[in-house]
Every structure is written in structure tokens, then in C-alpha cells.
Amino acid sequence: MLYTGLQRLEYRGYDSVGIAVISSGRLVVAKGKGMLRDLEERLGFTKYIGSMGIGHTRWATHGAPSDINAHPHVDCKGLFAVVHNGIIENYDELKKKLVSKGHIFKSETDTEVIVHLIEEYYSELGDVYEAFKRAVKELRGAYAILVITPLEDNKIFFAKKDSPLIIGVGDNYNILASDIPAVLDHTRYIIVLRDHWVGYVTPTRIFIEDLLAEKPVDYTTYIRIVEWSVEEASKGGYPHFMIKEIYEQSLALKNTIAGLKSSQELPHAVKVIAEAKRVFVTGAGTSYHAAEFYALASNTLTKLLTVPFIASEYEVYGTAVNESDVLVAISQSGETMDVLKAVRSFKKQGARVIAVSNVVDSAIPRESHIALYTRAGPEIGVAATKTFLTQTLLLAWLLVETAKYTGIFSTSEYKEVVGALENSPKVAEISIEKSDKLVHDLSTVYASKTSMYYLSRHIGVPVAREGALKIKEIAYIHAEAYPAGESKHGPIALVERGFPVVFIVPGISGVERAIKGNIEEMKARSAETVGVVCEESPLKDIVDYVFEVPCPHWLLTPISHTPPLQLLAYYTATKKGLDPDRPRNLAKTVTVE
Ligand code: AGP
């Protein structure tokens, strides 16, 4: 159970792996640097037998990836083992205190302080759970913690703040995990734990208490049934999650549309935005590109000033807002710390916050005033694909509803655009099918490139940025994206024979005309040009390689124009022998600042 659970969670971090089990009354730990499958060969995880255990895949924050720094960590006497996701901010001060009391630390991690603290308090209090709680109360920062000990050999102790943690509720077993796919092989009954909850599970019992409220939690009211099947959370016959998820985009859009049509939150969000003085919109990475798309579309359609910003820069904006402002916070995982911090800082100033997420009940929606959900299903590949398309659809929908509410759209205009949005699953499907036929040759050419540009204008700019991010993170090719008009202000100096420039050409006639000029200026420097253009666009004849995609409405540009760029990144990576699901140095969910 531990091994398959860790396999399902490997996407969250994977520089080292470890497990601890209670076997014949003894604590046994196996851990090391590397990926799960390599360590299985080296350490033979599956030979560790016990009825209870904990496991961890790590993405280094404090201390480099190494055998010693891998979790679980144990105390001096080898009585307690801990795994932890998050960052203990006050670990330095706690470590000094513990070292002065004689504790010997083996790793450079922040996590190890937790287990020595428990050891310390256990020797004082003689009760494991009380010692655990006392230790947790001393921690500052973010944590999802699990602890086992042969002293209480049928309990797993847990604590949660800021980092995600769930319980999979089973029949004669219970499972704790950072994310839902880890438990789907066994159960679909889930409790999403809240901040400051601590407790323990046995095979037949769950005990939770709220450390702040200092009272037990009736967990039965928090049990949810998850609709995702195990198949949905696994590769379903594709070689990688990324390509599976690219092909799932049409379905993900269909499900998201169904969700929007029945959403009770959407009308509230529309009203809040319509009444705002200014709208800020934020996210990180791909979700920031969705934010930029929303701002460009909103500034084009409505008279409401809409400002996009990268979530980690929240302090610049968070202090300049007030009650009449709104923040739209976008995060597929709902756990990205930079976005969470932005939400908190805007809320502190009195702004209303609308979350857009793919994970129900995750931290960002929970802390926002209104939560809107995409229904992309679990996204396992580190590269965001289907969540980007569904985010942009949801945001376009939100905007169109707002335009209707404020009278910018007449009923017939509204119906026309909603009709186009409803057709988005078909648009994605055609775009993927047509591109997959053409992308193979091009990816062979691009596998040997070291640098490239992705250019566009207007609503195509966030799509260009998304294309550049995809090829960077998956195929390790340096790529820069910027509005095409900027070339002559500097970047064109790099262009020489064969330099690849990908143009994203939205179906807006003025924009198309302007981009034509930009293509010509690159061709004049012997650049190798690729165009993602609307079917039958005259620009198809002037680029070296062309992807023609359907363009029913400019609001659908991310949905029509992004798939060829995702496929280009995917196939270029696989041609280079890289694993697109596990790009180096990256984790799927970034729960640290
Ligand atoms: C996208 O391909 C990335 N892996 C990354 O930029 C991601 O979009 C970013 O970390 C934000 O994640 P979130 O949507 O879960 O907040």
C-alpha cells in the first residue's frame, strides 16, 4: 500500500524516497536519494512487512537531496519516525535548543527537529499523543506531518497546517496522504483535513481535534465521496501522463462547462466583479498565463480596469488595494503558497477574493470568499495542460456572464459568445488531432535547438508565454516569449540563420496584419518561422511550418492555439529521451514560498 501510494504521489516531489514500518514491534526505516523505482531495486521496499507504516517522496527545501536528508527521520533512540511536507520556519532556533539538551541530529533538514521535539516531550510527559501535540504547538511554518512509533503500534499520528493532508477512510484501515490519487486504489471516502487539526488513526478509528479551538472534531460531517476513478488518476494506456492529459482536454472542457452551468457560485462571482472598482488577477507559472489572458480579455471587453500580476509579487499590489477591489486568484492545485499569500494579503486589506481552482476544498478556495472550480480531473504530469485550457474557458465564461450582467452584451451577443464557448471541446479536439499529425517532424528538428522565441500580440501573448514555458520545463530548451512588437527593441539582435521563432496568430484581423509584419522581419534575418494560425489564414503560406487551427471566437484563442505548443514540447522532450512527467528541479505543487 505504501509503495503504490508513493507511486501515485511521486509527481509532488521526487528527489528522494523513504518508508518506515513497524515490523515485529520494531521501527524499520529504508530511505535514499533517487526515484522510487530505482530505490525499490536498491533497498527492496516491498520486503518491509508490517501492518502500519509511513512513506515520503521529497522535493528538497532545506538540505540537498541525499540519503541522509531523505524522510523518514528518526529520533536519537530510534523510537519515533516522522515524514513531513512543508517548511518549519523556526527550525534553527528549535534545533539549537534541542542540541543544547543533548539531541544528536543526523540530517540538514528542518523536518528532523519535529522528531527530536517529540522525543524530548515524551521523556517528560510519558504519553505519545500529548508529546506529539506539544511538539506541534512549537512549530511555526507549513506542515503536513505523520509520525509512527512502536510505543503505540496501531496508530499513525498526524498534524496539518498550510500543507495539504487527507484521510482515505476504509473498512478496517485508514490512509493518510498528501493527495487523493494516493488512496484511490483503496477508497473513495475522503476527509480533507483543515489547518490546525491534529489526531491519529488506527485501522478502525479516526480521532481528530482542533488545536486552536481545543476540542474534538466530528469528522463524519467532513467525509466526501470522490468521483475520480483510479483509471482517471493513472496513465490509461498512454506512455506519459502529459500526453494523456493533452488528449483529455476536450473531456475536461466538457466537464467544466457542465460545472459552470450548474454553479451556484458563478452568479455571486459575477456580481462581485461587476461591483468592483478594480480587478486584480494572479497566479504562478501556467496559472499566471491564465491570469494574463483574463486581464487582456477583460480590458478588451469591459470598462473595468483589470491588472494581472505574478503571485510571488503580491506584496507590491497587496498593500495598495481596498474593499472596493477584487482579486481573482488562480491555482489548479489550490495549494501554491505564493498564490495563498496573495489571497491572504488582499483579504487583509478588505478586498473580495474569488478563487479559480481544480481541487475542491484545497487551501486557496477555502480561504477565498468565492470558489469557482474547473473540472479537469486530476492532473499528474508536472506540466500543466488540461488545467490551463479549462482555466481559460472558465475565465472567459466568467467574463461573458459579467458582460451580460453589466449590459455590455445584448442577449443576442451573449448567446452567440456562449455558443462559441460551448463549442470549445470540439475546437480543442480538432486542434489536437490536426497538430499531432504535423508535430512529429518539427519536434525532430527542434530536439537539436538550444534557444527560441514565441511571439504574438493581444490575446495570443499569454499563449506564447505558455508555449515557451512548456518547451523550457519539459524539453529544456531556452525559450522567451514577448509581444511581437518588442522584437525591434532588442531581442531581434539574437536572430540569425535557422533561429526558431514560433508565431501565435489569433483570429483578429488587425492583430493578424500586425503579426504578418513581424513574421516578415524575422524571415528577413533568415529565422526559421513556425505559425499557429487560423484555418485558411493567408499567413499559412509565409511561414516555414504551419499549424492550422479552428478559430470560432478570439476568446477561445488559448483553447485553439495552445495544443500544438503542448504537443511540440512533449514530442521534443521524448525525442531527446527526457521524461516529460518528471522534469528536473520541478515539483507539481509548490507549497513553499
Ligand atoms: C506549469 O506547467 C508548471 N508546472 C507550473 O508553472 C504551475 O503552473 C505553477 O506552479 C502553478 O501551479 P498551480 O496552478 O497549481 O498554482
| Mean pLDDT along residues 312-323 | 92
Residue of the nearest CA to atom 7 in ligand 1? 285
Amino acid identity for residue 76 in this structure: C
C-alpha closest to that of 5 among 214, 210, 234, 189: 234
Cβ pair 71, 84 in contact under 8 A: yes
Least confidently predicted of 61-65, 84-88, 360-364: 61-65
C-alpha closest to that of 189 among 197, 177, 199: 177
Point out which residues pair with 510 in neighbouring strands: none
Most confident of 14-28, 220-234, 439-453, 558-572: 558-572
pLDDT > 90? residue 489:
yes
Distance of CA 388 to the CA centre of its chain: 10
Dump the DSSP string for 157-225.
EEEEESS--EEEE-SS-EEEESSGGGTTTT--EEEEPPTTEEEEE-SS-EEEEETTTTEE--GGGGEEE
| Mean pLDDT along residues 342-360 | 95
Q: Is residue 35 helix, strand or coil?
A: coil
Give the distance (Å) from ligand 1 centre to CA of residue 115. 32
Q: Is the shortest distance between the CB of 382 and ligand 1 below 6 Å? A: yes
Quick one: which atom of ligand 1 is closest to the CA of 286?
Answer: 8
- Burial class from Cβ neighbours inside 10 Å (0-12, 13-18, 19+) for residue 243 reads buried
Confidence of residue 360 (pLDDT cuts 50, 70, 90): confident
User: How far apart (Å, rounded) are the C-alpha atoms in residues 366 and 369?
Assistant: 8
Phi/psi for 354 (5° steps) reads -110, 120
| Mean pLDDT along residues 346-364 | 93
Give the distance (Å) from ligand 1 centre to CA of residue 483. 22
**What is each CA distance from 582 to 9, 14, 242, 475, in whole angstroms?**
12, 8, 10, 11
User: How far apart (Å, rounded) are the C-alpha atoms in residues 193 and 555?
Assistant: 37
Q: What percent of the chain has pLDDT over 90?
A: 79
User: How far apart (Å, rounded) are the C-alpha atoms in residues 82 and 149?
Assistant: 9
Q: Is the shortest distance between the CB of 566 and ligand 1 below 6 Å? A: no
Confidence of residue 12 (pLDDT cuts 50, 70, 90): low
Cβ pair 399, 301 in contact under 8 A: yes
The whole model's pTM is what? 0.78
Q: Which residues contact 592 (CB under 8 A, 6 or more apart)?
A: 61, 86, 87, 142, 337
Distance of CA 463 to the CA centre of its chain: 18
Quick one: which atom of ligand 1 is closest to the CA of 283?
Answer: 16
* pLDDT digit string, tens, across residues 512-570: 999 999 999 999 999 999 999 999 899 999 999 999 999 999 999 999 999 999 999 99
Quick one: which atom of ligand 1 is closest to the CA of 339?
Answer: 16
pLDDT at residue number 457: 98
**What is each CA distance from 220 to 83, 167, 184, 224, 280, in whole angstroms?**
26, 12, 19, 9, 38
User: How far apart (Å, rounded) are the C-alpha atoms in residues 515 and 458?
Assistant: 10
Terminal Cα-to-Cα distance of the chain (whole angstroms): 31
Cβ pair 481, 454 in contact under 8 A: yes
Give the distance (Å) from ligand 1 centre to CA of residue 283. 8
Quick one: which atom of ligand 1 is closest to the CA of 385?
Answer: 2
Give the distance (Å) from ligand 1 centre to CA of residue 588. 7
Q: Is the shortest distance between the CB of 233 and ligand 1 below 6 Å? A: no
